[in-house]
Amino acid sequence: MNFLGRYIFSTDHKIIGLQYFILALIAAFTGMALSVAMRFHLSYPEAKVKLFEILWPNGAPGGVMTPELYLALMTMHGTIMVFFLLTTVPQGGFGNYFLPLQIGAHDMAFPRLNMLSFWTTALSFLVLCSAFVVEGGAPISGWTAYPPLSAVGPVAGPGLGQGMTIWVVSIALFSAGSLMGAINFITTTLELRAKGMSLLRMPLTCWGWFSTAIISLFAFAVLIAAGVLLLMDRELGTSFFLPAGLVINDKPIGRAGGSPLLWQHLFWFFGHPEVYIAILPGMGIISTVLATFSRKPVFGYKAMVAALLFIGFFGFLVWGHHMFISGMNPYSSIAFSVLTLIIGVPSAIKTFNWLGTIWGGSLHLTTAMLWALGFVSVFVTGGLTGIWLGQPALDLYFHDTYLVVGHFHMIMGVAAVFAMFAGTYYWWPRMTGRMLGETTGKVHFYCTFIGVYMIFIPMHFAGIAGNPRRYSDFSQFEFLRDLKMLHLGMTHAAFFTAAVQFLFLFNLLWSLRSRAKAPANPWRATTLEWATPSDEPPVVYRGAYEFSTPGARRDFRMQNEEEDTGT
Amino acid sequence: MLLAIVIWGVTGVVTAGFATKRWWFPAPINTHAAAFDSYFSANLIFSGIVFLAAQLALGWLIWRHRNRGQQAVHSDGNNRMELLWTSLTAILFLGAAIGSARMWSDVHLSTFSTTPMRIEASGKQFAWNFRYPGADGKFGKTDARLANDAAGNPAGILPDDPAGKDDIVNAALRIPAGRPVQLILRSNDVLHNFFVRELRVKQDLVPGLDIPLHILADKPGEYEIACSELCGLGHHQMRSVMIVLPQPDFDSWLGKQAAK
């Protein structure tokens, strides 16, 4: 096989997993750079930055960022991070690489479909980035793309012409890629498990990928449909989302019969389950890492599986909590509120079980373990504010303030990213045969852990003071001027936290230079990806987390170990 | 060990940040806002206790069970514990949902005992207009295509509708203190959002819908109205003010406007 067949258009799940991982790495650093530029502008609105002018000659004439460029960066930051980082690494990256290994399958069920799904995703990313260079620049409508702003073209503002169309096409492509992936994951999990690998012996990571795939199948199917409708409103003159009587920028739009709220319903029917798409595989990683480095079985394995499935199902019944103040029927807000708080229960169950897992353990504080324990901390912090926001009476004030920004960055962004870091430090030896530097890793962890709290907790204070989100400038309102120092602190914390991420990049690259090969099972873990590779399909004899079993020869028993042989 | 100390340190700083209330709500100007504040305080205290308990426990477990060569306890779960914390959180979370439903109903599902004064609040990229029905108590019909700030008709009132002759349109929202007001929120271009921090209320403006919002302000003063739904490049400057006047001052202002 030539280079092209082996590394580019590969059908090998391991190569495809790495491709997703590398794509997401590029996306993550791009998205992070955008956020740094946004924070810079918020705190130094008048500063002339040569780099801005070089990158965006129209968006930053003379190096000063315009409001439309700020909103374009914001839209692209959100879109890149949600789709190409949070959706891509946990499922496409780790899932492709490790699902077949962990269930003892030779590859994914449909290797060619797998390749197609990666390349569709990669194409989607290129299409999205091209929005920066078309006339009018990237869209300014936010990653939620609410119509009418997103549906009527450039009359509503810069970036809403070609840039917006490109955004919709990119999202539709991404949805198609995710749907292909979902079918592959579901089929692989159900059909290709090794002998003895019953569903309830699967590692919780596999449960995470499996339930995420099911959620993706329904959620992305709706998003792709919504995207097509939006595209038709934009290009073909339909009125799914446009009511009668619209006059935008003195120009009559001349459509009738549609509803802007319809988009919100469709979008959040995807958008809320998307939160779980981002976090469920991560929860599986955290359970595995905590168990392995506590040398204890996962506490309440069955409760963990039940919680995952419960979240997967109820995740589709809570989308309305994004719409309490949207003009939706106020009675439905009460129903959505009750359902939203109910879905908090399985998340709490998982947290209790994680604490139960480390309780009584023998904790080895490796870098992977630090990220996992840090995950529990930020998951609690981000989750509690969800209880505030899930109540419509409190959302009456907090909706679309910085409190929401702080909340979702903590729970969906930071927690999910911590799980990715835990997964990377844990699996890197298996993926590359090299160990990552533990000292660099720990410095990276501590700086990031303190950094994210310094960025996102002050956002809660800004939200309590009423600071609306998606403002490119805080000078127009008296009450926002009082928050200047608060924002300055967040901005500098963001600079710091972004800078230390290069330690991670350095660690990855440095490890590849190292000549020392990683041992086959460096963490003394139990699951099949660490088993000695063999041409024979593995046979599974036990559950996924047999640590410190009384009477056992050593403190872990791999799933394919037949019995204690005493050797 | 270091991790336990860092988690405790961060927990302390976060708790102190919330406790000092350096950046906080503005003072309430009606009973709803006061009720909101006390309900939020209850939430804050409850979640603060859970936050402290969880983070301190996490740090303590890390400290206590760090590897010093000891054997891990073998345990793969405890169904009674699962049942306990599942039912406990379910009760607490459902309690919160039900506890706040009342306040939501007061804002959106109840009516005033007296007839409210009606004011139409409309937003367009990136300005606000507030329309009073005038002496006849009726709003004139509008057509957004006729809206023209320069011609003195920002609301686009039809010139041949007699009900619109005495309508008063103003860029600031003036309301009398202590009197119920029904805002009718409208937009003809994109989504906007009416948000006055001191009222503790916000509501989207949606093209195609007339959305009623009941407000009542007791305390005279000037309060900023901030658009809180992304509406385009000038979203950050879509500002107006809500001026709450004592009833006599309001009456004389309205009289002067009508005379114009």
**Per DSSP, what are the bridge partners of residue A177?**
none
> Which residue shows structure tokens 């872990």?
A556
Do the Cβ atoms of B230 and A261 come within 8 Å?
no
For B160-170, write each residue's pLDDT tens digit: 999 999 999 99
Residue A237: predicted pLDDT = 95
Q: What is the pLDDT of residue B169?
A: 95
A150-177: pLDDT as tens digits: 999 999 999 999 999 999 999 999 999 9
Tell me phi and psi for residue A401, to 5 degrees: -100, 175
Nearest to B190 among A156, A363, A392 (CB): A156
Q: Which among A148, A298, A476 has CB closest to B236?
A: A476
What are the tokens at A529? 């990806």
- For all residues of chain A together, what is the average pLDDT? 96
Mean pLDDT of A348-361: 97
Whether A462 sits inside 8 A of B23 (CB atoms) is yes
Residues of A in contact with B10 (CB under 8 A): 377, 449-450, 453
Q: Do B43 and A392 touch (CB under 8 A)?
A: no
Structure tokens belonging to residue B100: 């706040």
Taking CB atoms and an 8 Å cutoff, what residues of chain A touch B81? 300, 352, 356
Strand B173-176 and strand B239-245: pairing?
parallel
Closest residue to A363, CB basis, from B66, B74, B236: B66
Count CB neighbours of A153 within 10 A: 19
| Cβ–Cβ below 8 Å for A457 and B17 | yes
Contact A459, A411 (CB under 8 A): no
As a whole number, mean pLDDT of residues A472-499 equals: 97
Per-residue model confidence as pLDDT tens digits over B103-121: 999 899 887 778 899 999 9
Q: List, as one string, the DSSP characters of A60-84.
A: SGGGPPPHHHHHHHHHHHHHIIIII
Angstroms from B215 CA to nearest CA on chain A: 13
CB A236 within 8 A of CB A225: no
Give tens-digit pLDDT for B9-59.
Answer: 999 999 999 999 999 999 999 999 999 999 999 999 999 999 999 999 999
Select the residue from A255, A380, A449, A548 to test the B interface by mutation, using most B Cβ atoms within 10 A: A380
Residue B142 DSSP one-character state: B
For residue A566, is pLDDT > 70?
no
| Secondary structure percentages of chain B, helix, strand, coil, to 5 | 40, 25, 35
Model pLDDT, residue A52 = 97
A345 lies within 8 A of chain B by CB: yes
| Segment among A105-114, B135-144, B213-222 with least mean pLDDT | B135-144
Q: What is the pLDDT of residues A118-143, one digit of tens each?
A: 999 999 999 999 999 999 999 999 99
- Could you give the residue ranges of the DSSP H alpha helices within A236-253? none
Q: H or E segment at B183?
A: strand B181-187
Q: What is the DSSP letter of B25?
A: P
Give this complex's ipTM.
Answer: 0.96
In this complex, is the C-beta atom of A77 within 8 Å of any C-beta atom belonging to chain B?
no
Residue numbers of A between 410 and 439 with CB closer than 8 Å to B: none
- Residue keyed to tokens 């499935």: A309
Q: What is the pLDDT of residue A565?
A: 52
Sign of the C-alpha dihedral, residues A58, A64, A68, A70?
positive
Q: If one looks up domain A3-244+255-557 in CATH, what number appears?
A: 1.20.210.10
Per-residue pLDDT band at A464 (split at 50, 70, 90) = very high
Which residue does chain B place closest to A70, by CA atoms?
B233
A186 vs A179, A209, A271, A316, A441, CA distance in Å?
11, 9, 21, 18, 34
Distance between CA atoms of residues A552 and A558, nearest Å: 12
Distance CA B195, CA B102 (A): 21
| Number of residues in chain B | 260
> Which residue, B231, B180, B90, B11, is CA-closest to A469?
B231
Q: Contact A365/B236, CB-based, under 8 Å?
A: no
Closest chain B CA to residue A150:
B190
Domains of chain B: 2-64+80-108 (no CATH), 117-259 (2.60.40.420)
Closest CA to A266 of A303, A316, A305, A206: A316
Search chain A and give the residue with CA nearest B86.
A349
Q: At residue A226, does pLDDT exceed 90?
A: yes
Question: Rounded to an integer, what distance in angstroms lies between the CA atom of residue B209 and that of residue A174?
Answer: 33
Subunit contact A325:B202, Cβ cutoff 8 A = yes
CA B61 to chain centre: 40
CA distance A9 to A19: 10
- Encode burial over A514-546: b for 16+ CB neighbours within 10 A, e otherwise: eeeebeebebbbbbbbbbeeeeeebebbbbbbb
Separation CA A148–CA A153 (nearest Å): 9
| Distance of alpha carbon B41 from alpha carbon A341, whole angstroms | 19
Whether the per-residue pLDDT at A9 is higher than 70: the answer is yes
Taking only the tens place, the pLDDT of each residue in A295-339 is: 999 999 999 999 999 999 999 999 999 999 999 999 999 999 999
Chain B environment of A470 (Cβ under 8 Å): 230, 235
Mind listing the pLDDT tens digit for each residue in A233-255?
999 999 999 999 999 999 999 99
By 3-state DSSP, what share of chain A in percent is helix, strand and coil, each rounded to 5? Answer: 65, 0, 30
- Domain boundaries in chain A? 3-244+255-557
Q: Quick count: other Cβ atoms within 10 Å of Cβ A360?
A: 19
pLDDT digits (tens, 9 = 90+) for A488-517: 999 999 999 999 999 999 999 999 998 778
The per-residue pLDDT of chain B, averaged, comes to: 94
Q: Which residues pair with A556 in a beta bridge?
A: A547
Q: Which sign does the torsion angle of CA B42, B44, B47, B52 carry?
A: negative
Q: Which of A264, A339, A395, A407 is nearest to B104 (CA)?
A: A395
Please say if the pLDDT value at position A445 is more than 70. yes
Cβ distance A545 to B195 less than 8 Å, yes or no, reads no
Q: Is residue A549 predicted with pLDDT exceeding 60?
A: yes
Mean pLDDT, rounded, for A266-293: 97
Residue A515 DSSP SS3: coil
- Which band of pLDDT confidence, cut at 50, 70 and 90, is reported for residue A1? low
First-to-last CA distance in chain B? 75
Task: Mark yes or no for CB contact B57/A303 under 8 Å.
Answer: no
Rounded to whole angstroms, how far apart are CA atoms A385 and B113?
Answer: 35
Is any Cβ of chain B less than 8 angstroms from the Cβ of A353?
yes
pLDDT given at position B215? 95
B36: chain A residues, CB-CB within 8 Å:
393-394, 396-397
Lowest-pLDDT choice from A17-26, B149-158, B191-200: B149-158
Q: Distance (Å) from the C-alpha of residue A524 to the closest C-alpha of chain B?
A: 14
Q: Are A39 and A497 in contact (CB under 8 A)?
A: no
pLDDT at position A567 over 50: no
Rounded to whole angstroms, the Cα distance separating A145 from A168 reads 9
A337 and B97 in contact by Cβ < 8 A? yes
- B168-170, strands of its sheet edge to edge: B168-170, B127-132, B117-124, B181-187, B211-215
Q: For residue range B218-230, what is the model confidence (pLDDT) as tens digits?
A: 999 999 999 999 9
* Residue A388 CB contacts under 8 Å (≥ 6 apart), including other chains: A394, A398, A403, B40, B43, B47
